[in-house]
Structure 1
Amino acid sequence: DDVVYDLGCGDGRLLIQSALDYGVQGVGIDVDPALLAQARDRARQAGVDDRLEFIQGNLFESDLRDATVVLIYLLPHLNLRLRSRLQTQLRSGSRIVSHMFDMGDWPPSLTLRLEPSEEDSVLYLWQIP
């Protein structure tokens, strides 16, 4: 069973949808207490608050060792800053999914270009060896 971490989770929409669609356990980490309060309320309304935890914290200092999937939608310089932490803390087989931004010279295992809506979207996937 996957444990999904959403780094910079905001209002929790990705984790909540993942819990609804796939039954995952999840942890959302964000620095903004107001967004985290929204995330907790949304999870409770969706009936998945028993599977999700929302933590106020610095994603660069967070313990990621329990994650099997990490979701990020961060700017490129933040992805690069986070890269070594992901590579050292995540177990073999863990996956990282980034929306829109890559991780420099670390080639993704898979790149998906999604159908354009208002703007082009790209998902990058890495798997820890």
Structure 2
Amino acid sequence: MKRLLLCSSLALATILPPPLQAQELITAAKAPQQAPARRPDVIFVPTPQEAVDKMLEMAEIKKGDLLYDLGCGDGRIVVTAAKKYGIRAIGVDIDPKRIAESRENVKKNNVGHLVEIRQADIFELDLKDADVVTLYLLPSLNVKLIPQLQKLKPGTRIVSHSFDMEGVEPVEAVEEPATIYKWVAPIKTKREAAGAEPGKEKKAVGR
């Protein structure tokens, strides 16, 4: 009889996982599977506060404006816009670490009623409600954004720290306290401004 009970116990032990292992399996099954985010396009380098102040000054912010900061980093531009000008601002970044820093900055400065931080791909954003767009990206990324920026409503101000937008003439540029460029929508590339159709190159005439 003892031998039979021992065999039965061994059989059950083989079929059933130990309690801790079973709990781990249940927890793993319930855990949400998050898709890996795309890697950030740039290494985070914070905009100096004096440059932030100049960017917002050049943006000619008005009451009721909505500002988007693309690649918001630690959130200093959106926080300053909310505190200094009292406007709504949306900071967008793809890096979870930057998102956490931005949200902490918003909380610390008590501007959560004006500022929203979104984790998203800036190249998939709809910016139609923006009045101001701020950038601190690489030149190639500024150029990549042109199709989106060309959809901005007329009068929207675009301000970029350090880097211009190749092929698009700025309406204003300064060198102090930092290099900053400004455009106003609707923006056109130099080719478009010269009358060439977008996406079409002139063919060379053979001799």
- TM > 0.5 fold call: yes
162, 167, 170: which one aligns with 1:100: 162
Could you tell me which runs of 5 or more consecutive residues in structure 1 were left unpaired when the two chains were aligned: 116-120
Q: How does 1:54-93 map to 2 (within 5 A)?
A: 54-88=117-151, 90-93=152-155
Structure with max Cα Rg: 2
Partner residue in 2 for 1:14: 77
Q: Would you say 1:123 and 2:180 are equivalent positions?
A: yes
Distance, in Å, in 2 between the alignment partners of 1:63 and 1:28 is 13
TM-score for the superposition, normalised by structure 1: 0.92
What do you get for the CA RMSD once the two structures are aligned? 0.9
Q: Deviations over 1:18-63 (max 9, x none)?
A: 1111011011110011211111111111010110111111000011
Paired residue total: 123
Distance, in Å, in 2 between the alignment partners of 1:75 and 1:7 is 12
Q: How does 1:30-41 map to 2 (within 5 A)?
A: 30-41=93-104
Give 1 or 2: higher strand fraction.
1
Counterpart residue identity of residue 65, structure 1: K
Give 1 or 2: higher helix fraction.
2
**Larger relative contact order, structure 1 or 2 (CA cutoff 8 Å, min sep 6):** 1
Distance, in Å, in 1 between the alignment partners of 2:153 and 2:174 is 23
Distance, in Å, in 2 between the alignment partners of 1:7 and 1:13 is 12
Could you tell me which runs of 5 or more consecutive residues in structure 2 were left unpaired when the two chains were aligned: 1-63, 187-207
TM-score for the superposition, normalised by structure 2: 0.58
